Structure formats: structure tokens, C-alpha cells
Amino acid sequence: MKRRTLLASAAMGLALAAAPAFAQDKPKIAFVYVGPVNDGGWSQHHHEAAVKMKEHFGDAIEMVEQESVPEGADAERVLTQMALSGADLIFTTSFGYMDPTINVAAKFPDVKFEHATGYKTAENVSAYSARFYEGRAITGYLAGAMTKSNKIGYIGSFPIPEVIRGINSSFLHAKKANPDVEMSVVWLSTWFDPAKEADATQALLDQGVDVVLAHTDSTAPLSVLEKAGGFGFGQAGDMYDYAPQPRLSSIIDEWAPYYIDRVQAIIDGTWTSQNVWQGIGDGMVGIGEITGPVPEDVKSTVLKMKDDIAAGTYHPFTGPINKQDGSAWLADGEVAEDGVLAGMDFYVEGLTAEIPN
């Protein structure tokens, strides 16, 4: 598990030995991942973006990474350790690192932090997130169009705004493609547990679901769907290995440009705390090639939707939309505010399940 850390430390040691005079000046950039860096999904794509960033800057910076860090107390320990060992900028790449990041940042005012997918910021803590719900609109529409049983499933990790936005966006657009569609949601209380993800996929299939949208980190759901003959989507990565069946398309995380940008700001001394939320238009969310037996008209509809979202002429949460209890949320033509989306804790009308506490 700690292999990469070992390699990184070894490389660091060599660098220190070779150029002791410069070692102090080089910005040290650290990354913390919630899963292993080859999970095939979320953590892998943060890691690959980090590697791209390192290639971009070459010897001008040092980079350290730590993978499979549990969210919670362990994260705080790891972050403290990184800050003590001289990191200048620490990227904490999972929602659950939010409070640990804020806590540790308060103790190390000179160290900068970048927290992914959260909403809390501080003088030295930035928040960055991608508008994945824009991608979920595309995959949701495809799911609605491709289901034969009119039942689609969604595998959620934790009931946090990020995932609830994904569920709502997927469901709204599945409904656009197919007004009769129903969606089952299964919560796993984990980001990464291939066996549980596979079991959940099987449970959904047993209920008659034939298209599954996953919001967890491994490719296990696609493996099960491949065997059972259902359809699914790449999540975090393209997962093109699973095309044309079961993979229909994918939502791809493109973190590298942002990482390069922020590290450059550290080098230039221009880093300031910010809260950014970028989508398809900014290039932080990519949509993978559409594969499989998707009809031409469906394909052109979603590609048009993608272009409209990128251009800013279509917002996936455009009224009229009611909340689950039937009360009005957005009036006709009204677009959701970022503030509401950032803290989204309700389902839209038509979803039957309840959000667990």
C-alpha cells in the first residue's frame, strides 16, 4: 500500500542528496488519495493528473503522494505529517477530507491546501470541484433512452450533496428521454469496495434494472453488467475497456489543467484561496465517446445537450422542477443557484426512495 510513498520518499531522498542547495527552495506539492492509485476510477485519475502536473514542472517541484488514506482521524494525522515535512501545497482529493483539511490548515497557516468536492474554505484552503451533474445529465439521458425495463439504478456512496446532485440530474434527464422511467438508489457507505459494488449491481439487476449508473470508484459494476448483459457508464475515467457493452459513455475527470494552474500560482507566489466549480465548458468534466447500440437520434440529442451545457445555454437544473414532496423548487425557465446546488439535500419529484441521514 505504501509502495508509492516509499518510492516517492526514496526519490525525494535522492533529490535532496543531489541538490541540497536547492532543496529548500523547491515547492513541495503533496497529494492524498482515498483509494489505491490504481482503482481504475476516482483516485487513479487524481493521481494521473498529479503525474501530468509533475511532468509539466519537472525538477522545479517535488511531489509526494499518499494513497488509501481513510477519511477521518487518519487523514488528519497524514496531513499533519505532510505539513510538518515541509509541504507547501497539499491537495486533499476526497469529500471526507474536508474537516480534517480545515483543522490541519488552521494549525499550519503557511501551508496551502486544496480540497476537492467540498464547500468549506479558509484563508489557506481552497475548494475545487467539478460540475459532475452536467455529465450526469448526459449519462442519465442515455440511461433513460436505453432501458428496456424502464428501471434504472444508481449506486451511491454517501448521501452528500455531490452524490444527491448526481442522482437528481441523472433522474431528471432519464425522465426527459423516457417519461415512464423509475430509478432505484442503493447506498453503499463506501467509495471503494469492489465486492460490495458488485453485490449492489447484482441486487439492482435482480430487481429488473437494466442500466446502472455508479457513483463509486471501482470498475466492479461494469464487470457485473458485462456478464449480465446490462448497460453502465465509465465513472471518473473513460473505462473504454468496457465498450461497447456494457459501457455506453463516461464522465471523465480532467484535473490536470487545474493542478498545473494552482502549482504555477505557488511558484509565482500568487496563490490565494478560492472556491471554484468547473464543468464541461471549462474542460474539468469530460464526456467519453458514446459507444454501444445507442440510436443515432439519441446520440445527436445528447451531443447537442453537451454542447449547450458547455456553451452555457442549457443548465441541467432548469425549471419547472418540483421537490420530492411535490413543493415547487424551480419555476418554469428558472435555473438553480449554485448555493442551493452546493448544499443539495433533497430529491426531485418522482424519486421514491428517501435520503438516509
Partner 1 sequence: MDPVLLVASIMVSATPILLAAIGEMVVEKAGVLNLGVEGMMITGAVVGFAAAVSTGSPVIGFAAAALASAVLSLSFGFLTQVLLSNQVATGLGLTLVGLGLSALVGASFEGVRAPGLGKLWIPGLAEIPVIGPMVFRHDFMVYVSLALVAGVWAFLKYTRAGLILRAVGEDHESAHALGYKVVRVRLAAIFFGGACAGLGGAYVSLVRVPQWTEGMTAGAGWIALAIVVFASWRPLGVLIGAYLFGGVTVLQLNLQAAGAKVPVELLSMSPYVITILVLVVISARGVHGAPGSLGRSFHAST
* Residue with smaller CB distance to partner 1, 85 or 189: 189
Residues 246-285 that bind partner 1 (CB under 8 A): none
Told to check if 123 binds partner 1 by CB under 8 A, we report no
Residues 163-202 that bind partner 1 (CB under 8 A): 184-190, 192-196, 198-200, 202
* Residue with smaller CB distance to partner 1, 71 or 88: 71
| Minimal distance, residue 62 CB to partner 1, in Å | 24
Binding-site size, partner 1 (CB under 8 A):
43
Buried residues in 259-297 as b, exposed as e (16+ CB within 10 A): bbebbbbbbeeebeeebebbbbeeebbbbbebbeebeee
Q: Where are the alpha helices (DSSP H) in the chain?
A: 3-18, 20-23, 42-57, 73-84, 98-107, 132-146, 161-177, 194-206, 220-228, 256-268, 296-311, 338-342
Told to check if 35 binds partner 1 by CB under 8 A, we report yes
Told to check if 223 binds partner 1 by CB under 8 A, we report yes
| Minimal distance, residue 142 CB to partner 1, in Å | 21
**Concatenated DSSP letters of 312-355:** TS--SSBSSEEBTTS-EEE-TT-B--HHHHHT---PBTT--S--
Buried residues in 77-97 as b, exposed as e (16+ CB within 10 A): ebbeebbeeebbbbbbbbbbb
Told to check if 308 binds partner 1 by CB under 8 A, we report no
Distances (CA, A) of 15 to 32, 84, 110, 111, 266: 21, 19, 23, 21, 20
Q: Which residues contact 71 (CB under 8 A, 6 or more apart)?
A: 34, 94, 95, 96, 97, 100
Told to check if 121 binds partner 1 by CB under 8 A, we report no
- Of 132, 146, 304, residue with least CA distance to 235: 132
| Minimal distance, residue 300 CB to partner 1, in Å | 30
Told to check if 118 binds partner 1 by CB under 8 A, we report no
In the 8-state DSSP scheme, what is residue 231?
B
Among 15, 60, 203, 276, interactor with partner 1 by CB under 8 A? 203
Among 220, 236, 302, 341, interactor with partner 1 by CB under 8 A? 220
Residues 49-88 that bind partner 1 (CB under 8 A): 68
Among 241, 261, 337, 338, interactor with partner 1 by CB under 8 A? 241
* Residue with smaller CB distance to partner 1, 56 or 196: 196
Among 153, 161, 279, 316, interactor with partner 1 by CB under 8 A? 153
| Minimal distance, residue 48 CB to partner 1, in Å | 13
- Of 221, 216, 215, 154, residue with least CA distance to 182: 154
Part in contact with partner 1 (CB under 8 A); list of ranges 213-221, 259-267, 320-328, 330-338: 213-221
Report yes or no: 160 and 128 within 8 Å, Cβ to Cβ: no
Among 1, 11, 84, 303, interactor with partner 1 by CB under 8 A? 1
Among 9, 18, 19, 38, interactor with partner 1 by CB under 8 A? 38
**Cα 342 from chain centroid (whole Å):** 14
* Residue with smaller CB distance to partner 1, 35 or 140: 35
* Residue with smaller CB distance to partner 1, 162 or 217: 217
Query: What are the grid coordinates assigned to 93, written together?
Result: 482529493
**Cα 110 from chain centroid (whole Å):** 28
Report yes or no: 341 and 279 within 8 Å, Cβ to Cβ: no
* Residue with smaller CB distance to partner 1, 70 or 109: 70
Q: Which residues contact 203 (CB under 8 A, 6 or more apart)?
A: 186
Told to check if 149 binds partner 1 by CB under 8 A, we report no
Interface ranges with partner 1 (CB under 8 A): 1-3, 35-36, 38-40, 68, 153, 184-190, 192-196, 198-200, 202-204, 206-207, 209, 218-220, 223-224, 226-227, 241, 352-354, 356
